[in-house]
Every structure is written in structure tokens, then in C-alpha cells.
Amino acid sequence: MLVRAGNTGLRMAHAALLAGVLTGCSEAAEQDDSKGSARASATAEASGADGAAASRAGGTIGGPGSACELPVTVGTAKSWKAEAVRAPLSQGPVTLVCEIDAKPAGNIGFLRVWAGKPGDADARTVLKAFVAAEDGVSGEKYRTFTSGGLPGVEVEYLYTSELLEETKQESAFAVTTPDGPVVVHLGGLDTEEHEEMLPAYELARRTVHTA
């Protein structure tokens, strides 16, 4: 059963914060795209000073003693701050366990890590259920990847906020481990912020491996 209430509350809380930040400032297709043209374009736009800063490794989380102990380890971008999440916020088959905050690096957004219980579902099934549990999603594009010997699936999609009446790009990837599936999701204040943070997301995807 998909649990939506926790994630809806998370969206509303963050939307309220973002609405304050914005004050005063003036279909669905599934595909395996090995070239990743859409991401290549976005990453190219973020390859300036901000993108270069986001792509620099700042550490690793997931292992024993790290800020978030996970079934996998991932590299984090320089100045991004990870913190374990204890509140029971769920989306589809996974529960939020870690937030990696971009604000210390100068962006508004998070890499959020979600983990689930061991089972037979593969990465694609887990990721599709994760996306399906989110209201306001459209234009999903899926593709496969391999990192650290782990086969994974990633998705790009558009999220439309009814509260802010705004549509923005979001990204996520999923892998499965003997200890359960893991989903890493990148949101952001808007599409521009999302694109600036893509190098940090790509760093996490490139470095993910079993803990």
C-alpha cells in the first residue's frame, strides 16, 4: 500500500518555506536512453562555477559512523550537509532516512535518500512505485545505469505544485541491495536550482555502491 500522507506533509512544509523565499521576486513516456540527451543538456548548463563546485566530492555517507547509515554508500558534494531523518515519511515502498542539504553550498534544495525493506522488487519496479505515489508528476523518462557493480534505474520528470502553481524538473534513481531498495531523489526550488544541483546528484549516482 502506498503511503502518501507523510510526503504530502513534507511537500506542503517545504512549499510554505519556498513561498516565503519567492515573495517579492518577480504524455508520460518510458524509455531507456543510453545517451541521456536531456541530462547531458542540463548538466552542460550547470557546468560553470556553480556546477563545478557541486561536483567536487566532499565526503561519503552510508557507512558505519557516517551522518546517515544506509544499505549503500554514496559520495556527497563539497559543503553539502547530510543529516539522518527520524520522522516516518514514506513515499510508495520507501521511507525517508536521510537529507543532504545544498544550502551550505549556496543552493536551495536537497538530495533525499529513501530506503525500503528487503523484497523481490527490482530497481525499476521500486522507482516506478515511488514516482506513482507522488501527485503532480508528468513526463517521466526512465533509463538504466550501472554503478559500483549495482544495476540501477533513474528517472527524470516534471513535478507541478498546486500550491505554488509552478512546474519544475526533478530526478531520482533507485538501486536494490540485500538489505532493501534505496531511492535517491533530487528536487530543488525550481528548475534552475535543480539544474545547478545536478552535478551533486550525478556524483551520488556515479559513486553509489553497497555499503
Domain containing residue 89: 5-210
| Domain total of the chain | 1
Give the per-residue pLDDT at 93.
Answer: 97
What does the pLDDT average to over 150-159? 97
Give the per-residue pLDDT at 10.
Answer: 52
Give the per-residue pLDDT at 175.
Answer: 98
pLDDT at 22 over 50: no
Helices 37-45, 191-207: axis angle to 10 degrees equals 110
Give dist(CA 140, CA 158) in Å, integer.
7
pLDDT, one tens digit per residue, over 159-203 is 998 887 899 999 999 999 999 999 999 999 999 999 999 999 999
Give the per-residue pLDDT at 87.
Answer: 87
* CA-to-CA separations, 11 to 33, 44, 168, in angstroms, rounded: 29, 28, 13
Give the per-residue pLDDT at 56.
Answer: 63
Burial class (CB in 10 A: 0-12, 13-18, 19+), 178: exposed
Partnered with residue 69 across adjacent β-strands are 62
pLDDT, one tens digit per residue, over 94-128 is 999 999 999 999 999 999 999 999 999 999 999 99
Give dist(CA 68, CA 49) in Å, integer.
28
CATH of the domain at 119: 3.40.1000.10
